[in-house]
Structure formats: structure tokens, C-alpha cells
Amino acid sequence: MNYRTIEEVSDQVVSCRRCKRLVSYRESLPARASYSLEEYWRRPVAGYGDPNARLIIIGLAPAAHGGNRTGRVFTGDESGRFLVSSLHEAGYSNQPTSESRGDGLVLLDCYITAAVKCAPPQNRPTREEFENCSSYLEAELSLLVRAESVLTLGGQAFSSFLRHVGKNGGRVRGLKFTHGGRYVIPGFPTLYASYHPSPRNTYTGKLTKRMLVTLLQRIRKNKQSG
């Protein structure tokens, strides 16, 4: 399908039922006791942000009790709080918190999406699920025409972007994920890599806020100098 706008992509995303395992998981997942009075989103989660953004951030997938609950990726969970607080410090958001779709958050020169649009069991999408969702990521990347940089959060998001590059004639041999890595691929936005801001990484100090803010500031500086 040829999409003309990001809004058209989002409309298709939220109605998608391509992956039976993900549909079953997102719709049957029991709510946490602390959210028992809330109505979970339980649908695919589209990207959001500035359609004229020069920075695209790609995560893995919505969290079971984050994006799958709130309907916005990196919202209402620890990963989202860590990421958006860092974005705010680096000048990419109007506020440091991300709790709900109606919380007033505005991304500045930034668009956030995920390689897989539904929450997967144990945060592990299958290869088929990555492929089923790839057309949506392809569409987002093709429509965000002002993008100069892409920041991938974690190795699987990094691989998803490289698959996009390979499908579109780019050369990806020898590119290996490393936190803080910067990769110039002719014909594509400059690729940056970060550890994912999951509690597994942030609670252990593998990824600190200073590490992520420094990388985001580096990206902003490189854009301004370019």
C-alpha cells in the first residue's frame, strides 16, 4: 500500500491483525493490579512526534503495561520515563514525563516509533513478526523526509533499520551494534546506536542517563553543524 501521510500509516497500524500470536497476547494480557481501573489500549501502537523531525528514534516494541496500556510507545513505563526525561534534557521534548496520551507531551524535532507495533510475549518478537511489521516502519521512514539522523535503541532496532537500508540498496556489511556508534551510510540518515533504556540496562548502570543525554546532544550538535 502506498501511504501519502504519516497519519495514514498510523490508521493502518492501529487496525492491524497480521500476527495471530501478538493479537492474542495484547488482547488477553491481564492488567496489573495497579492499573486495574484503567482500560488498556490493547491494539498496535503507532509512532508519534514531529512529522518534520530531523531525528527518528526506533525502539523494539510497545511494553506490555506501557504502550499496550496507554496507546503510545515509551509511555507509562520505566523505559519511557527514562527516555523522555533524557529527551527533555537534550531539548527534544517540552516536558520530562511520559505517562499517558493526554499528558501534554510534545516531541521537538523528533519522531519515535518501534520496529514491531504490538507488545510481544517476553519482549521477543519472532522473525516473522518483524517481517510482518516491516512495511509500517518502511512507510514511516520514507515519509519522514527531513530526517537527518536515526537513533536505534537496542540491537534488534539497529538490525531492523539495517534491513530497511539493505532493502533500499544501501550497503550494511561490517556494521555492528555498539552503544554510541555512528554510522554514515550514503543515501540514508546518519545511524546512531544506543543501549535500550529498559530497566534491565538502566538499573544495572549499563545505560546511564548521562550516557543517553550525551549521545542525544551529540546528535543535535552534528545536525546543527551539518
Give the confidence band of 224 by pLDDT, cuts at 50, 70, 90.
low
Q: Are 36 and 29 in contact (CB under 8 A)?
A: no
> Which residues are paired to 212 by β-bridges?
none
On whether residue 97 sits in a domain, the answer given is: yes
Per-residue pLDDT tens for 3-43? 999 999 999 999 999 999 999 999 999 999 999 999 999 99
On whether residue 26 sits in a domain, the answer given is: yes
Q: Are 140 and 50 in contact (CB under 8 A)?
A: no
On whether residue 1 sits in a domain, the answer given is: no
On whether residue 51 sits in a domain, the answer given is: yes
Range of the domain at 112: 6-225
Give the confidence band of 223 by pLDDT, cuts at 50, 70, 90.
low
Query: Based on the structure, what is the number of domains in the chain?
Result: 1
On whether residue 122 sits in a domain, the answer given is: yes
Per-residue pLDDT tens for 61-74? 999 999 999 999 99
221: exposed, middle or buried (Cβ count in 10 Å: 0-12, 13-18, 19+) = exposed
Task: Write down the mean pLDDT value for the chain.
Answer: 96
On whether residue 119 sits in a domain, the answer given is: yes
On whether residue 111 sits in a domain, the answer given is: yes
On whether residue 149 sits in a domain, the answer given is: yes
Residue 151 sits in a domain of what CATH number? 3.40.470.10
